Amino acid sequence: MTGSTLQGKVAIVTGAGGGIGRATALRLAEAGADIAAVDIDGQTAGETARRVESLGRRALALEVDVTDADAVRRSVDDTAAALGAPAIAVCNAGIIGEPSPFHEENVAHLRRQFAVHVEGAFHYMQATIGPMLTEGWGRLVCTSSIAATAGYPRGSSYAAAKAALLGLVRSIALEYASKGITANCVAPGVIDTDMIQVFGADRLERMRAAIPAKHFGQPEDIAAAIAYLCSPEAGYVTGQIISPNGGLWFS
Ligand SMILES: NC(=O)c1ccc[n+]([C@@H]2O[C@H](COP(=O)([O-])OP(=O)(O)OC[C@H]3O[C@@H](n4cnc5c(N)ncnc54)[C@H](O)[C@@H]3O)[C@@H](O)[C@H]2O)c1
């Protein structure tokens, strides 16, 4: 999607300092949107904002921990003041943690996974849906994972949090389907970003070999799917899960 299909729209993208989030911010900017780039790392968010501006769009960098509901609300207010009310929220910030067998997994890690992925998305969707209802137009997209439906050995807490997102988003989709607001998930396969470096070279090679396409996805592959879900022509698409994964299905 290129051109100006999102001209005049303001998009908040979380985790925008990193791979998929940054690619998404740039892709939405190419489609004409102005971008609030949110990340816990203010420096990387700032770099994304600079790249958005170099595409000729307005941008704001916001250093926010998505688990902090007050900070999230302030960031949405700051976005509205600087760029205009958000019509698009891409809840993408995420963490993975060291692989850990379930019998050694601890509940603190489970809670952290739910805080970042589920509460973070909950806060941003709740803080942005008001202006979307006023406008009668909105796009909510959350980054889940193939792990949500396929499972993820030694990543049970991550997979559980990503699965919870599916139920959250599908429920929101049904509640607001008649209000011009869509809510969808992308569920990436294995994408070549900083996040997957935790697996180490040997496991990464085994993962790559198991992918029918025989290569990892690029952040732009996910950004393209997100941009479609955010587009005006995807107005009849809601409660869906799009999984760009190179043919990788475990189940
Ligand atoms: N890379 C993959 O293979 C893959 C597969 C499926 C799903 N995902 C999901 O895609 C999303 C993006 O991940 P990525 O692969 O681009 O990794 P990444 O590590 O490059 O990006 C994640 C970004 O989220 C930010 N972040 C982490 N915790 C945060 C917090 N509390 N508040 C605000 N920002 C925070 C990080 O600083 C980072 O910039 C994540 O939700 C991840 O779980 C990734």
Residues 8, 192: Cα–Cα separation, whole Å: 31
Strand partners, 139: 88, 182
Q: Find the domain containing 34 and state its range.
A: 10-189+224-242
The pLDDT value recorded for residue 251 is 41
Is the residue at 70 inside a domain?
Answer: yes
The pLDDT value recorded for residue 218 is 98
Give the residue from 56, 59, 17, 20 showing the smallest Cα distance to 38. Answer: 17
Mean pLDDT of the chain: 96
Q: Kindly tell me if the per-residue pLDDT of 113 is higher than 60.
A: yes
pLDDT digits (tens, 9 = 90+) for 179-197: 999 999 999 999 999 999 9
Is the residue at 211 inside a domain?
Answer: no
- Supply the CATH number for residue 161's domain: 3.40.50.720
Of ligand 1's atoms, which has the minimum distance to the CA of residue 192? 1
The pLDDT value recorded for residue 210 is 94
Q: Kindly tell me if the per-residue pLDDT of 150 is higher than 90.
A: yes
Is the residue at 91 inside a domain?
Answer: yes
Q: Kindly tell me if the per-residue pLDDT of 4 is higher than 90.
A: no
Is the residue at 198 inside a domain?
Answer: no
Give the residue from 123, 124, 99, 120 showing the smallest Cα distance to 109. Answer: 99
Please state, as a whole number, how many other Cβ atoms lie within 10 Å of the Cβ of residue 115: 17
> How many independent structural domains does the chain possess?
1
Of ligand 1's atoms, which has the minimum distance to the CA of residue 96? 43
Query: Which residue's CA is the closest to the ligand 1 atom numbered 31?
Result: 65
Is the residue at 206 inside a domain?
Answer: no
Q: Kindly tell me if the per-residue pLDDT of 1 is higher than 60.
A: no
pTM of the model: 0.98
**What confidence tier does 249 reach under pLDDT thresholds 50, 70, 90?**
confident
Is the residue at 26 inside a domain?
Answer: yes
Q: What is the mean pLDDT of residues 118-128?
A: 98
Query: Which residue's CA is the closest to the ligand 1 atom numbered 23?
Result: 15
The pLDDT value recorded for residue 250 is 59
